[in-house]
């Protein structure tokens, strides 16, 4: 594999089977066109990197995971620039949701607008007690446009809560987000880094083909409905049962040892 690229707006690091992708524009980690392109490129690299079994997506510093798009960028305006920015944002959200390896969003501090569109599609969403979400586009004269607020949010939290969030645009704290199902768990800030590492390491030890099956079937349930999810369940069950990993997982359980999954 070719050497990893040098990035302007993100940082990429690896620790065993866990790779960490950091939005690196502190203090607010605002999204620019360059950042969108670099995150997509990094995900492409991590998909092909065999050593990577789980990915952490987080923001630099402790003030914000991501406070949304950089409103000073011309690409947020009208015309072709705005259109291209919107399409790349949509492409990144789709990429995060369909990424074949398990992803963990490590959310600390503010997560606003486009930041929510990057955090919420991740498979596991760990929030610090300092986390606050905000979806107040209508108070900027804008609307969500990356496929989150208008497309996915109602599937995540239901019609009424989605209306409350998008129309009132009030801050949602970590504990309220947990009750709504927007985050997987909330951890005190002094334990956040350790818990984030623990969860990612656990995910890195899962069976890669089985993980892909879970992700594809769950996505089909809300995008395509029950019938499509049932078909996928049958096809993935047959495929996974025939893998070396399935035999290894059962053998490891019987032998009371940690399985060594190979992704085949």
CB 129 within 8 Å of CB 188: yes
pLDDT of the residue at 18: 98
- pLDDT tens per residue across span 136-148: 999 989 899 999 9
Element (H, E) at 10: strand 10-15
- pLDDT tens per residue across span 112-145: 999 999 999 999 999 999 999 999 999 989 899 9
- pLDDT tens per residue across span 6-20: 899 999 999 999 999
DSSP 191: G
CB 14 within 8 Å of CB 52: yes
| Cα–chain center distance at 233 | 23
pLDDT of the residue at 105: 98
pLDDT of the residue at 185: 98
pLDDT band at 253 (very low <50, low <70, confident <90, very high): confident
| 3-state SS assignment for residue 15 | strand
Element (H, E) at 176: helix 174-180
Q: Is the peptide bond before 128 cis (omega within 30 degrees of 0)?
A: no
Cα distance between residue 55 and residue 208, in whole Å: 13
Residues 6+ apart with CB under 8 A from 168: none
177-181 mean pLDDT: 97
Residues forming a β-bridge with 125: 105
Q: Is residue 1 scored above 50 in pLDDT?
A: no
pLDDT of the residue at 73: 63
CB 68 within 8 Å of CB 114: yes
From 151, 149, 145, 146, select the one nearest 133 (Cα to Cα): 149
Other Cβ atoms less than 10 A from the Cβ of 1: the count is: 8
Higher pLDDT pick, 261 / 182: 182
- pLDDT tens per residue across span 234-247: 776 677 778 888 77
pLDDT of the residue at 82: 84
From 180, 171, 189, 159, select the one nearest 63 (Cα to Cα): 189
CB 61 within 8 Å of CB 27: yes
pLDDT of the residue at 251: 80
Cα distance between residue 254 and residue 26, in whole Å: 48
Higher pLDDT pick, 227 / 85: 85
pLDDT band at 26 (very low <50, low <70, confident <90, very high): very high
Mean pLDDT score across all residues of the chain: 91
- pLDDT tens per residue across span 89-106: 999 999 999 999 999 999
Query: 69-96 as b/e, with b when 16 or more CB fall inside 10 Å?
Result: bbeebebbeeeeeeeebbebbbebbeeb
- pLDDT tens per residue across span 51-92: 999 999 999 999 999 999 998 764 445 556 788 999 999 999
- Please state the pTM of the whole predicted model: 0.89
């Amino acid at each position: 594999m070719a050497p990893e690229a040098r990035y302007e707006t993100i940082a990429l690091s690896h620790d065993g089977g866990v790779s960490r992708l950091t939005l690196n524009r502190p203090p607010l980690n605002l999204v620019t066109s360059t950042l969108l392109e670099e995150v997509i490129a990094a995900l492409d690299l991590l998909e092909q990197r065999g050593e990577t079994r789980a990915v952490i997506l987080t923001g630099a510093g402790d003030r914000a995971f991501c406070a949304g798009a950089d409103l000073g960028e011309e690409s947020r305006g009208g015309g072709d620039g705005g259109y291209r920015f919107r399409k790349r944002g949509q492409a990144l959200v789709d990429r995060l949701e369909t990424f074949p390896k398990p992803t963990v969003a490590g959310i600390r501090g503010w997560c606003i607008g486009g930041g929510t569109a990057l955090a919420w599609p991740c498979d596991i969403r760990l929030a610090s007690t300092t986390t606050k979400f905000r979806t107040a586009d209508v108070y900027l004269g804008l609307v969500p446009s990356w496929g989150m607020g208008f497309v996915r949010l109602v599937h995540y939290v239901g019609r009424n809560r989605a209306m409350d969030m998008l129309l009132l645009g009030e801050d949602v704290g970590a504990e309220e987000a947990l009750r709504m199902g927007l985050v997987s768990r909330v951890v005190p800030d002094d334990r956040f880094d350790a818990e984030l590492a623990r969860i990612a390491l656990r995910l890195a030890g899962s069976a890669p083909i089985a993980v892909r099956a879970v992700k594809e079937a769950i996505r089909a349930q809300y995008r395509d409905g029950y019938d499509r999810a049932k078909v996928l369940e049958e096809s993935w069950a047959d495929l996974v049962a025939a893998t070396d990993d399935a035999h290894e997982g059962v053998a490891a359980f019987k032998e009371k040892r940690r399985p060594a999954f190979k992704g085949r």
